[in-house]
């Protein structure tokens, strides 16, 4: 039993550290960093109809792979934010939008151009996979 309790304690500590890191990442920011746009049902359509292509990260707070991808998404936003808009949509809070685009697994990354969905990647595709998706749609 002691081993099980120790494993649970280690897992609790790791989860707490991950949450602290995520909060720290979200609070960081300098004026030269592109901001990740938080989308909702009210601003979604306007956001995807801009002049630049838009990549939307469909995510949830409880989703481990989503949390894994967040710092990657943030790094790529800094790298490509001058050529593409980077946005996030919490599927638990905005399930109608997620359903409209058939998002049933998360994380899902969807690229929009002129308001139309043009590409998607499902799952924790890693930095190379996500960068490949982005580079296909920027000029």
- Catalytic residue status for 48: no
Per annotation, catalytic residue among 60, 63, 117, 121: 63
Q: How far apart are CA 117 and CA 53, in angstroms?
A: 10
The single-letter DSSP state of residue 33 is: S
Choose the catalytic residue: 36, 39, 47, 66: 66
Instruction: Tell me if residue 66 is catalytic.
Output: yes
Of the candidates 47, 129, 92, 95, the one whose C-alpha atom is nearest the C-alpha of residue 121 is 129
Q: Which residues have C-beta within 8 Å of that of residue 13, sequence separation ≥ 6?
A: none
Q: Which residues are catalytic?
A: 63, 66
């Amino acid at each position: 039993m002691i081993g099980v309790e120790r494993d649970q304690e280690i897992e609790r500590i790791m989860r707490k550290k991950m949450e602290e890191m995520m909060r720290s990442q979200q609070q960081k920011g300098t004026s030269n960093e592109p901001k990740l746009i938080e989308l909702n049902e009210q601003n979604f359509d306007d956001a995807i109809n801009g002049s630049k292509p838009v990549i939307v990260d469909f995510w949830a707070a409880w989703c481990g792979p989503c949390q894994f991808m967040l710092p990657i998404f943030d790094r790529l936003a800094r790298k490509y934010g001058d050529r593409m808009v980077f946005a996030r949509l919490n599927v638990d809070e905005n399930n109608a939008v997620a359903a409209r685009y058939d998002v049933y697994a998360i994380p899902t990354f969807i690229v929009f151009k002129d308001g139309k969905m043009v590409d998607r990647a499902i799952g924790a595709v890693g930095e190379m996979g996500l960068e490949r998706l982005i580079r296909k749609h920027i000029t």
